[in-house]
Amino acid sequence: MDKEGIMSEAAIDELLAVANKELFAPESASANSEIDQLSASEENVSQGIPPTQKISFLTQLLQESQIKRKLAAVLLLLCVCILTGGYVGYQKALQTIEAPLPLDKIIQQGITFEGKNLITYAGRGDKPIVLAFLDAGMDINTTRNTDGWTALTAASFYKKPEMVKLLLEKQALVDIQDRSGRTPLLYAAAMGTEEITTLLLEAGANPNTQDKNGRTALMEAYSKQEAKIAEILKSAGADPTLSTIVRKEDIPDAPASQAKKVPQIASSTIPDEVRMTVGKAGLIPIGMPLEEVKKLYPALTMNEMYIDGSKKILANIFLENNSDPSLVLELSRGKSQLVSIINIYDSRFTTDKSITLHSTVGDIRNQYSVSEIRVIDHSLYLLVKSTKMLFELDINDPMIPISWTESGSPDSIPSDTKIKRVIMY
């Protein structure tokens, strides 16, 4: 810069070079070309153009370039907004037009709008299908004709906690019973699902509801050796002293005339302490923890013995006026020590159909449908699956007659053969 404050031509040339490098590097090819032309022609006109005009020309060029860039950026942003908004609006409109009704969703997948399908998909844990059924107006408590199950029953049986939550939120009946009198809670306890058991209890499920065989959720937990679930049920008010209620038993293999002859004995005539029912001998059900057994029978004794090379832990219970054990309980291993098998040696124990240790094979046939005969540890047993009992036969012969076992039929056993032990499993 000279003394008069005017920039020299060399300074102006240097400023042009910096402007070209810093400001116009990102510009398009045409903008760069203009700068190149300006730079190229500068030498030609530098002799005739005053420095002040060069500065004015440079300033104008910079201003025009900045305006163009800003305008282009604004236009580009505006186009993007318009296109984006239009696309989103189009998609929403398309979804609104094409979205099928809940019933259409079901039909499109080849699923008929029937209650049995709601129950099937609830058992599978398929939320979209179940919600489609419910949104289309299907009764959440509809039952299946074959077994009386509801959606909640199926979800509880097949261990689908998320589906159980959904159905309970939709006000499914929690204590509804199927054809066998079983509730979702009984199935949850039997299947060993702690989360579903808790959900059902929190929704108000009755822990003492009994099925047609008098079974409760607590009995199911005991029989499956689910100690944790048993504790959850007892905390919710489950009564461990409830007795089973045996009703008239269906005997599919027996003719109607024979079924009519079966005497029905009222359960109230048999004291609970000596009553044998499904999975329960007296006050002790299969699956009861040893600690609870001790509360009922503090004088019980414990011993261990090896059976077929396996160590068994046994609890012996002596009833009054009996020097030999009335009951011998086989316990499961582990901390909980649950009752897994009950052996009955006392003739005071009786079923609701008067079967005791004084009964014969003929008595059993008259009262129950005998499922099969089994040979276990050189002893012969009659199996009655409906009661979950094995009746050991009192055979004095050193060897079991082959003719009794060759046919595989329970009818091959002489009717006057006595019983010497009952085993519950």
Give the helix/strand (H/E) hosting 194.
helix 194-202
- What are the pLDDT digits (tens) for 50-98? 666 656 666 676 666 677 677 766 776 666 667 666 655 555 554 443 4
Banded model confidence at residue 396, pLDDT cuts 50, 70, 90:
low
* pLDDT value at residue 288: 85
- What are the pLDDT digits (tens) for 19-40? 555 444 554 444 455 445 545 5
* pLDDT value at residue 308: 65
The per-residue pLDDT of the chain, averaged, comes to 78
Most distant pair of Cα atoms in the chain: their distance = 142
For 18, 37, 164, 259, 306, the CA distances from 15, given in Å and listed in that order, are 5, 16, 78, 117, 105
Q: In what order do the strands lie in the sheet with 339-344?
A: 301-307, 310-317, 327-331, 339-344, 418-424, 389-394, 379-384, 372-376
Name the more confident of 105 and 239: 239
Q: Global pTM?
A: 0.51
* pLDDT value at residue 296: 92
Give the helix/strand (H/E) hosting 277.
strand 275-277
* pLDDT value at residue 23: 46
Q: What percent of the chain has pLDDT over 70?
A: 67
What is the C-alpha separation between 153 and 119, in angstroms, rounded? 8
Residue of 279, 364, 286, 274 lying closest to 326 (CA atoms)? 274
* pLDDT value at residue 213: 84
| DSSP annotation of 279 | T
Q: Which residues are paired to 328 by β-bridges?
A: 316, 343
Banded model confidence at residue 267, pLDDT cuts 50, 70, 90:
very low
Instruction: Give the distance from CA 282 to its chain's centroid.
Output: 33
- What are the pLDDT digits (tens) for 158-196? 999 999 999 999 999 999 999 999 999 999 999 999 999
- What are the pLDDT digits (tens) for 293-326? 999 999 999 999 887 667 889 999 999 878 899 9
* pLDDT value at residue 249: 42
